[in-house]
Amino acid sequence: MHALFDPRQIPVCGVDTHLPAVAAARLTPQALRQRFAAPPAWQPEVRREPDLPGASRPLAAAAVLMPLVQRPQGMTVLLTQRTAHLSSHAGQVAFPGGKADAEDASAAATALREAEEEVGLARRHVQVLGELAAYVTGTRYAVTPVVGLVQPGFALRPNPDEVAQVFEAPLAFLMNPAHHRCHQMADGRQWFSMPYTDEAGREHYIWGATAGMLRNLYRFLMA
């Protein structure tokens, strides 16, 4: 998006308070392992964003890690806020991830490598559960979300060139559609946001591709 684009100013066209939240029993480490070990028949709700102006190159393979941290108070999702000077998605909330390298054997290999490079999350702390359907961004990246359980005890070392901050949001909050807001622009483009305010009162504005992938995780867990 253009540097002057403020997603908070785009009108909300709906909030899904009518949809049920994912039950707490489905958000435990064991339940998540079982769900990915025997995936249900399901359809992702958000598959592709409209191409941004000037985005005409072939699709490029990429992957992100959806890190689900096992906290005593409940599962959390580890997220980053990108630095403001990056050429794409500057300042946005994102999952650790990036473009696939030729040496990467799989999407999981890409996601784990990028998580180490971006935030210093050692792969020994991550148990990969599986993948969600690829999500095509407006910048023409075909992004595979790789879902992993993260054992506490890790020490993060965010790359200051890419990551402004790292935070965790409760998985139960993100898997409750009452917190999913749909926005529509004048040209008809739609996307989700899931603003989260932490215990210190700081708002983390989760939107766009990251919110779309979380919405697909909701659909996967509810199928």
pLDDT at 3 over 50: no
pLDDT at 4 over 80: no
Q: How high is the pLDDT of residue 87? A: 46
How sure is the predictor about 191, in pLDDT bands with cuts at 50, 70 and 90? very high
Q: How far apart are CA 180 and CA 217, in angstroms?
A: 13
Q: How far apart are CA 55 and CA 138, in angstroms?
A: 7
Residue 7 has a CB neighbour count (10 Å cut-off) of: 16
Give 153-171 pLDDT, tens digit per residue: 999 999 988 899 999 999 9
The CA–CA distances, whole Å, from 50 to 2, 71, 135, 163, 196 equal 15, 37, 12, 26, 26
User: If you average pLDDT over every residue of the chain, what do you get?
Assistant: 92
The half-sphere exposure of 210 on its side-chain side, counting CA atoms within 13 A, is 28
The CA–CA distances, whole Å, from 213 to 64, 144, 188 equal 10, 9, 20
Give 80-105 pLDDT, tens digit per residue: 998 754 445 446 899 999 999 999 99
Give 116-145 pLDDT, tens digit per residue: 999 999 999 999 999 999 999 988 899 999
- pTM (predicted TM-score): 0.93
Give 27-75 pLDDT, tens digit per residue: 999 999 999 999 999 999 999 888 777 667 888 999 999 999 999 999 9
How sure is the predictor about 1, in pLDDT bands with cuts at 50, 70 and 90? very low
